[in-house]
Structure 1
Amino acid sequence: MTGTSEGHRLDPTDWSAFEADLHRVASACVARLRAARELPWQAPPEDMAARVAITGRGMPTTDLFDRIATDIMPHATGNTHPRFWGWVHGTGTATGVAAEMVAATMNANMGGRDQGGAEVERAVIKWLHDIAGWQDGSGLMTSGTSQATILALSCARMRAFPSVRADGLAALPEMRVYIAAGGHSCVKKALEVMGHGAAAIVQVPAPMGRMDVDALRAAIAADRTAGRHPLAVVGTVGSVNLGTYDDLNALADVARDEEMWLHCDAAFGFWTRLADAPWRDLSKGIERADSVAMDFHKWMAVPYSAGAVLIRDETLHLATFRERPEYLAAGADGLAGGDWWATDYGLELSRSFSALKVWATVEGLGMDALGAQITDNCRQAAHMGDLAQASDVLDLAAPVVSNLCVIRPLQGEASALAAQLQLSGEAVFSTTIVDGTSCLRAAIVNHRTTTVDVEAAVRALESAARAA
């Protein structure tokens, strides 16, 4: 049955009114970004679930946008605030907001076909090759490092066992993947998803947060003797606990000698390659890796979510994932054309245009500004460490290597102190364990942070510790 609104049911009935409402939403977004310093994390209201319960009745866009602005937008994680240093949460930029709106307007499925967005993604991947010091290679935008790790280790397995796609896991030996003790859990998750189980991960001793290369060689030898297959070694490029970096050249030597894959988990640490010395030298050796995973939504301030994986061998990358059923067959002309389909390089056919916000960030803000911001954060972490060492109620739990500062309170309990500062809005630290002691951890990836913020947060932490 044909209705009068056929073909227009989901579009605005009044485009001029919708445009006016959209301008109001855009103004509210800009106002929130402009006022980020006054908007620390706040606990969601007790009736938050009731506020957002779906009725499905529909409403005018004016009312809908008002609800978004009043009931949802104020209750975020708070990571846009300049004193938010909990975990490794990126901060977003105004440039990213605009790029996200354009990407949503285009509504492009970036799985494949002949479209301009494919060239934008390829340009981002090529730029990453340059930053990594690679002459060529392959790669793909991902939702983040967790997904990127699955893709990278799948390529590693494909290189070692080319029949795995056809035959599955039954004929494969036990796998082992080596990572520094305290390395990111996404590697363990990847091996579980791939069917190898948590037992496939080997945590190598890492004094002062850096993998012990002699212990790595010994672990590999023991596994070979036991009939297990050493598949890959994962180099940590910016550890989540201490901000430390493995000796990537030494790990590359081991991978070469043992005929293993070298993967680099560079979720946030990759971006020190844009910083001033000495921080830009922390990741020396990454140019020798077989694969690298990184996030844009952390230290590059690109809105969530956006990550990428780099794979050295494009032929292998395609062999690991390419699958073209009849309805996705390539064509010489028309939309079915194009010589680069992202779906050939990963798991997803339906993909967002996340490359646009990365491209807009790099082109709009420039590498000099991005590198200067990364350098600032490293200097701020070092300054925080100096203040902690000089304090009578705080101490530095480990040397500051990059942008992470871990503080041991000499009075009070770390988690209670962290919660107190979060609830007061003075600063957001997370907690971690160093040498068996609970500590406060600041991961500074915030482009709005200043030295004044660092000093004020340390004073607030000292006051809380003295009162504990």
Structure 2
Amino acid sequence: LIALGVMRHVKTGGSIRGQGFQEQTAPMVIYTSTQGHGCIQKAVEILGFGSAYLRKIPVDSGYRMNLDALRTQVQADRAAGLLPVCVAASAGTVNTGAIDPLDDIADLLVAEQLWFHVDGAYGGLGILVEPSLYKGIERADSLAIDPHKWLYMPVECGCVMVKDAQAMRDSYSLVPSYLRDDTAMPWFSEFSIQQTRGFKALKLWLVMQQIGVEGYRELLRHDMVLAKSLQAKIRARDDFELVAAGPLSVTCFRYKRQGMADLDGLNRKLAETVQREGKAFLTTTELNGQLVLRACIVNFRTTEADLDILLDAIAEAGGRVPTGD
């Protein structure tokens, strides 16, 4: 929301704060992928662009934004008299951990003069372990990261970075006389929506003093290694199907059982059962029209043994479901 608010300020030449959208001659269009996080649509709606002008671009077989489809859609919107302004790419989608082709997208956006936002809320910090996967992320105009996801912080602890600090300040700065102090540093409220706020960064700062960047690198590597191990275990079993082996710490899969026609219903029931019985916290999502189990390893206390417990618990619960259900 904050990052796209800065983009809106820049793309309207600053008039948005005084005139709103009243001086806009063409509707502005924003692009994300079909795997983009729901917060993108929510921000588009809150900021007044309207979800009718949010384009959800198809993805490739690895669930990454399809660059050709993006290019075609941008050109089609221009031809229709619309104004493309921003692409919100993903550096680690929630569903599968997929990382969009950031460098290629950046090349396209330079040519088209669009704002480049990267949603790295979950997966952006995987760059500490596999930097080659993130080529082009440094070209983003804005970047979102949530330390309360993969840096193990208590909720909430979010972070947004904007390359043009002055544009960010111009988008939000409003300092009333009772707060004005020309000798002080800028107020943090000049760079975002909130004025009074808690010291959310303190918990992250404290952990950084204890383990540092290298400590975090090893913890993230641990999670990613376990995800690869889980994927190997699933491939080795006949009662499971690996659906998406993401590059980070997310694995999507399904339990299979002979004689069960409704695998979507079965897997939904199994996720609920495993959670209710306290064996594991497992979620579900949809990929290519089918419901899948989603295991996201973002706890440094997870062990190899936990992976076996997870799969065995699912299989055991699946065996208890009557064939006709």
**TM-score of the two chains, using structure 1 as the length reference:** 0.65
The answer on 1:435 being equivalent to 2:288 is yes
Give the residue type in structure 2 aligned to 1:315. Q
The correspondence of residues 260-299 of structure 1 with structure 2, limited to 5 A, is 260-275=114-129, 279-299=130-150
Displacement after TM superposition at 1:467 (Å): 3.2
Match of 2:230 in 1: 384
Whole-angstrom distance in 1 between the partners of 2:272 and 2:44? 34
Match of 1:83 in 2: none
Is the CA contact (8 Å cut-off) linking 1:178 and 1:203 kept in structure 2? yes
Displacement after TM superposition at 1:237 (Å): 0.6
Whole-angstrom distance in 2 between the partners of 1:443 and 1:181? 20
Match of 1:396 in 2: 242
Gaps of 5+ in 2: 258-262
The answer on 1:359 being equivalent to 2:205 is yes
Match of 2:102 in 1: 248
Whole-angstrom distance in 1 between the partners of 2:131 and 2:277? 36
Displacement after TM superposition at 1:340 (Å): 2.8
SS of match in other structure, 2:55: strand
Whole-angstrom distance in 1 between the partners of 2:274 and 2:309? 12
Give the residue type in structure 2 aligned to 1:352. G
1:225 to 74, 79, 82: 79
Match of 1:139 in 2: none
Whole-angstrom distance in 2 between the partners of 1:272 and 1:158? 30
Give the residue type in structure 2 aligned to 1:151. I
1:235 to 48, 65, 89: 89
Whole-angstrom distance in 1 between the partners of 2:203 and 2:75? 45
Displacement after TM superposition at 1:465 (Å): 2.4
Is the CA contact (8 Å cut-off) linking 1:181 and 1:206 kept in structure 2? yes
The answer on 1:164 being equivalent to 2:10 is no
Match of 1:456 in 2: 309
Match of 1:301 in 2: 152
Whole-angstrom distance in 2 between the partners of 1:303 and 1:417? 28
Is the CA contact (8 Å cut-off) linking 1:393 and 1:466 kept in structure 2? no
2:38 to 160, 172, 185: 185
Displacement after TM superposition at 1:373 (Å): 0.9
Aligned-residue sequence identity (percent) comes to 32
Whole-angstrom distance in 2 between the partners of 1:399 and 1:426? 22
Q: C-alpha offsets along residues 204-243 of structure 1, whole Å, 9 cap, x if unaligned?
A: 0102210111110110011111111111011101011111
SS of match in other structure, 2:145: strand
Match of 2:260 in 1: none
Match of 2:170 in 1: 319
Displacement after TM superposition at 1:154 (Å): 1.2
Is the CA contact (8 Å cut-off) linking 1:385 and 1:400 kept in structure 2? no
SS of match in other structure, 1:298: helix
The answer on 1:350 being equivalent to 2:202 is no
Q: C-alpha offsets along residues 153-190 of structure 1, whole Å, 9 cap, x if unaligned?
A: 11111111121111101222211111111210100000
Q: C-alpha offsets along residues 291-314 of structure 1, whole Å, 9 cap, x if unaligned?
A: 000101011011111111100011
Of Structure 1 and Structure 2, the greater strand share is in 2
Give the residue type in structure 2 aligned to 1:169. F
Whole-angstrom distance in 1 between the partners of 2:285 and 2:165? 39
Q: C-alpha offsets along residues 245-298 of structure 1, whole Å, 9 cap, x if unaligned?
A: 0010011111101000000000011111222xxx33222211000000010101
Displacement after TM superposition at 1:195 (Å): 1.1
Q: C-alpha offsets along residues 322-377 of structure 1, whole Å, 9 cap, x if unaligned?
A: 11121121143xxxxx2131011011111110111111111122222211111111
Is the CA contact (8 Å cut-off) linking 1:295 and 1:307 kept in structure 2? yes
Pick the structure with greater CA Rg: 1
Whole-angstrom distance in 1 between the partners of 2:102 and 2:275? 36
1:330 to 167, 178, 181: 181
**TM-score of the two chains, using structure 2 as the length reference:** 0.93
Whole-angstrom distance in 1 between the partners of 2:288 and 2:254? 11
Question: How many residue pairs were aligned?
Answer: 311
Give the residue type in structure 2 aligned to 1:166. G
Displacement after TM superposition at 1:192 (Å): 0.6
Is the CA contact (8 Å cut-off) linking 1:393 and 1:465 kept in structure 2? no
Match of 1:155 in 2: 6
Which runs of 4 or more aligned residues in structure 1 lie more than 3 Å from their structure 2 counterparts after TM superposition? Answer: none
Displacement after TM superposition at 1:466 (Å): 3.1
Give the alignment's Cα RMSD to 1 decimal.
1.2
Is the CA contact (8 Å cut-off) linking 1:408 and 1:414 kept in structure 2? yes
